[in-house]
């Protein structure tokens, strides 16, 4: 699961922890 979006989410997680969780969920659903 090495996607460029994941890296961006991790960077954004530093600014918005809530967005980090939402991003992971969205990425998981998209990958699933």
Q: Which residues contact 13 (CB under 8 A, 6 or more apart)?
A: 19, 20, 23
Rounded-to-integer distance, Cα 2 and Cα 15, Å: 21
Identify the residue with better confidence: 28 or 4: 28
Average pLDDT over residues 3-28: 75
pLDDT computed for residue 28 by the predictor:
87
What's the token pair of residue 7?
């890296």
pLDDT computed for residue 32 by the predictor:
65
Rounded-to-integer distance, Cα 27 and Cα 22, Å: 9
Q: Mean pLDDT score of the chain, rounded to an integer?
A: 74
Strand, helix or coil at 3? coil
Identify the band that residue 5 occupies on the pLDDT scale cut at 50, 70 and 90.
confident
Residue 26 has pLDDT above 80, yes or no: yes
Of the chain, the percentage scoring pLDDT greater than 70 comes to 66
């Amino acid at each position: 699961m090495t996607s460029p979006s994941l890296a961006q989410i991790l960077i954004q997680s530093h600014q918005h922890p809530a967005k980090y969780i939402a991003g992971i969920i969205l990425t998981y659903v998209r990958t699933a």
